[in-house]
């Protein structure tokens, strides 16, 4: 997976730290570092791979540090007929039943309709039948 350079609060700038990016407040738009902070996609999970020595003052966090992050694999359920390691596919929303305990696995936070993904691991021990469809748990990479 490719790495991105971004800024994170100094308080959690530790190699291996995982975090989900939820976006930036409107007050950040006027900051000269906004483009560097806003490179991540809202809702996706990232892990810090490398910490640089450069620090900047931040009106929101006090201090931010330049880091390299990688996008973590996306955990999701897909129809079993597509669950083959290495296969590439286009994401489309699977279900509208919000009450379903698997809703967030069938519709992972941060994915958008039409995103290209690649299955990197099939977790065959975790499968379910939902609305007469057999679904399998996989780890996918956003392309």
pLDDT in tens, 10-47: 998 999 999 999 999 999 999 999 999 999 999 999 99
Q: Decide if 72 contacts 20 (C-beta within 8 A).
A: no
Entry field: residues in the chain: 143
Three-class SS of residue 33? Answer: coil
Is the model's pLDDT at 127 over the cut of 80? no
> What is the dihedral angle through the alpha carbons of 75, 80, 81, 82, rounded to the nearest 10 degrees?
0
**Per-residue pLDDT reduced to its tens digit, 55-73:** 999 999 999 999 999 999 9
């Amino acid at each position: 997976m490719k790495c991105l350079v971004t800024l994170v609060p100094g308080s959690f700038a530790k190699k291996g730290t995982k975090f989900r990016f939820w976006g930036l407040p409107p007050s950040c738009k006027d900051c000269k570092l906004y483009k560097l902070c806003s490179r991540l996609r809202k809702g996706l999970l990232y892990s810090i791979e490398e910490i640089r020595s450069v620090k900047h003052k931040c009106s929101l966090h006090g201090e931010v540090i330049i880091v390299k992050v990688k996008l973590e694999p996306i955990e999701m359920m897909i129809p079993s007929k597509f669950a083959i390691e290495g296969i590439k596919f286009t994401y489309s929303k699977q279900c509208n039943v919000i009450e379903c305990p698997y809703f967030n696995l069938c519709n992972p936070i941060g994915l958008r309709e039409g995103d290209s993904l690649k299955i990197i691991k099939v977790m065959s021990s975790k499968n379910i039948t939902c609305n007469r469809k057999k679904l399998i748990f996989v780890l996918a990479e956003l392309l």
